[in-house]
């Protein structure tokens, strides 16, 4: 059995803890997936072997009726560890990998060859109900990649890309801090209770609101951190990154503009007493984001 590097272990954990949960967005807001998963009760289990740090997580998908019966209405949630029957005898799709490198090859592969690690799981699950629905749902995460740059003529894709990206990156920053990633731990260590808030304005098409505004935030205090969805209302943000619409945010996520230039171009407005901290926050954000994307997207 192989032994993964600490960096690979960290990245794999960030996928399980921060990237996988954002599948809820297309699952709940894309009519295609709402329909496909309406009548599915199942578990998808991911597992990667390792000498020192074996990893496992499972996603539970429930119908509305089943969720109200056994899961306090939660139709989708990601849990740590393998599935041990806590929601009953549900069908289990097992996505198991020989090692963490194989798992990361599928989740952030630079080449088609890297993606071949998924083939054994495909053969094992090909006839299981819901497998291909899940596979296409998982592919929605690809919208967060830098090379997916939908224009204003594709407002649905812009909305999905930005919402998934901000939910993922705030969660990943908090998880990296909790997992002891040194740059994040140092950055949060001496901060007082501070809210770093994203707010993205509504998507307007032909004068009508197609998608409402949304937000995501990271709260830090004395080395601790917590990510959240929406607008934090109990405390004014220390830094507010205010985007007029998803298109402005994509200019930064895609690398069209560096952070400071994006401010100059009007893609984002920095508001709050801690505006001078916005650059260091962006630096930490890009650091974590770069862990989760293929190296071919990184600037040399």
Short-list 228, 292, 237, 229, CA closest to 270: 237
Contact predicate 175/18, CB 8 Å: yes
pLDDT score recorded for residue 117: 85
29 contact partners, CB below 8 Å, separation of at least 6: 160
**CATH superfamily of domain region 155-297:** SCP2 sterol-binding domain (3.30.1050.10)
pLDDT score recorded for residue 75: 97
pLDDT score recorded for residue 242: 95
pLDDT score recorded for residue 299: 65
Q: Is the pTM of this model over 0.85?
A: yes
Strands 214-221, 224-229: pairing is: antiparallel
Beta strands in 81-127 (DSSP E): 92-97
Strands 92-97, 42-48: pairing is: parallel
Contact predicate 146/109, CB 8 Å: no
Contact predicate 55/15, CB 8 Å: no
- Residue-range domain boundaries for the chain: 6-143, 155-297
* φ/ψ of residue 168, rounded to 5: -70, -45
User: Rounded to an integer, what distance in angstroms lies between the CA atom of residue 211 and that of residue 224?
Assistant: 33
User: Which helix (H) or strand (E) element contains residue 183?
Assistant: helix 182-189
User: Which helix (H) or strand (E) element contains residue 155?
Assistant: helix 155-178
Short-list 236, 274, 238, 277, CA closest to 259: 277
pLDDT score recorded for residue 90: 96
- How distant, in Å, are the alpha carbons of 41, 118, 122, 135, 279 from that of 89? 10, 25, 22, 22, 49
Contact predicate 203/155, CB 8 Å: yes
pLDDT score recorded for residue 14: 97
User: Rounded to an integer, what distance in angstroms lies between the CA atom of residue 282 and that of residue 18?
Assistant: 18
Q: Is 275 exposed, middle or buried (0-12, 13-18, 19+ CB in 10 A)?
A: middle
In a structure prediction context, what are the per-residue pLDDT tens digits for the chain, which is 300 residues long? 789 999 999 999 999 999 999 999 999 999 999 999 999 999 999 999 999 999 999 999 999 999 999 999 999 999 999 999 999 999 999 999 999 999 999 998 777 788 888 999 999 999 999 999 999 999 999 999 988 999 999 999 999 999 999 999 999 999 999 999 999 999 999 899 999 999 999 999 999 999 999 999 999 999 999 999 999 999 999 999 999 999 999 988 888 888 878 888 888 999 987 777 888 998 999 999 999 998 777 765
């Amino acid at each position: 059995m192989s032994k993964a590097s600490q960096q690979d272990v960290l990245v794999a954990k960030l996928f399980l803890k921060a990237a996988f949960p954002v599948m809820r967005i297309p699952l709940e807001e894309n009519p295609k997936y709402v329909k496909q998963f309406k009548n599915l009760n199942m578990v998808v289990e991911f597992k990667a072997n390792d000498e020192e740090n074996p990893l496992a997580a499972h996603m539970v998908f429930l119908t509305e009726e089943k969720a109200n019966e056994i899961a306090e209405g939660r139709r989708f949630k990601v849990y740590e560890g393998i599935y041990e029957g806590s929601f009953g005898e549900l069908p289990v799709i097992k996505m198991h990998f020989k090692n963490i490198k194989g798992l990361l090859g599928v989740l952030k592969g630079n080449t088609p060859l890297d993606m071949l690690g998924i083939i054994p799981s495909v053969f094992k699950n090909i006839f299981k109900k819901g497998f291909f629905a899940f596979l296409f749902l998982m592919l929605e995460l690809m919208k967060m990649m830098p090379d997916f740059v939908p224009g204003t003529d594709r407002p649905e894709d812009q909305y999905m890309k930005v919402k998934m990206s901000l939910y993922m990156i705030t969660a990943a920053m908090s998880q990296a801090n909790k997992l002891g990633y040194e740059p994040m731990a140092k950055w949060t260590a001496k901060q007082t209770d501070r809210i770093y808030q994203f707010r993205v304005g509504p998507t307007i098409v032909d004068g009508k609101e197609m998608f409402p505004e949304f937000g995501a935030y990271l709260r830090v205090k004395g080395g601790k951190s917590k990510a959240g969805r929406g607008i934090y209302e109990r405390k004014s943000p220390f830094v507010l990154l205010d985007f007029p619409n998803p298109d402005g945010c994509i200019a930064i996520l895609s690398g069209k503009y560096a952070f400071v230039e994006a401010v100059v171009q009007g893609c984002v407005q920095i508001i709050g007493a801690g505006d001078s901290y916005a650059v260091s926050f962006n630096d930490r954000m890009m650091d974590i984001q770069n862990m989760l994307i293929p190296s071919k997207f990184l600037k040399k």
